[in-house]
Amino acid sequence: MTKADLVDAIFEKVGLSKKEAQDIIEILFDTIRQTFAEGESVKISGFGTFNVRKKMARRGRNPKTGEDLEITPRRVITFRVSNELKEQIEKLDA
């Protein structure tokens, strides 16, 4: 699903114009981006939690050349699915 698909879903289900739906999606994603930039987590009830996690520098290896290298420290975003969503997904498999 893409942003355009989300806009279409809001347009069809809520009845807002496509421009209004697109503005809502952009505001939502901008807010989430800003929250991540501040190092905060985003919890969406019934969906899951996005956490910003710091990874330390570590030794790595270029798989193509076999050369050793240093992987720089960085921040990554992890996602933990909520129990409610996990149950819904498991029902689909049954």
Residue 93: pLDDT above 80? no
User: How many domains is the chain built from?
Assistant: 2
Q: Are residues 34 and 46 in the same domain?
A: no
**What tens digit of pLDDT does each residue of 29-63 get?**
999 999 999 999 999 999 999 999 999 999 999 99
The confidence score (pLDDT) of residue 46 equals: 92
Q: Do residues 42 and 49 make contact, with C-beta atoms less than 8 angstroms apart?
A: yes
19 CB burial (10 A radius; 0-12, 13-18, 19+): exposed
CATH number, domain at 46? 4.10.520.10
Residue 84: pLDDT above 70? yes
Q: Are residues 77 and 55 in the same domain?
A: yes
Q: Are residues 5 and 43 in the same domain?
A: no
Query: Domain range spanning residue 16?
Result: 1-38
Q: Are residues 89 and 45 in the same domain?
A: yes
Q: Are residues 47 and 73 in the same domain?
A: yes
pTM exceeds 0.85, yes or no? no
The confidence score (pLDDT) of residue 94 equals: 64
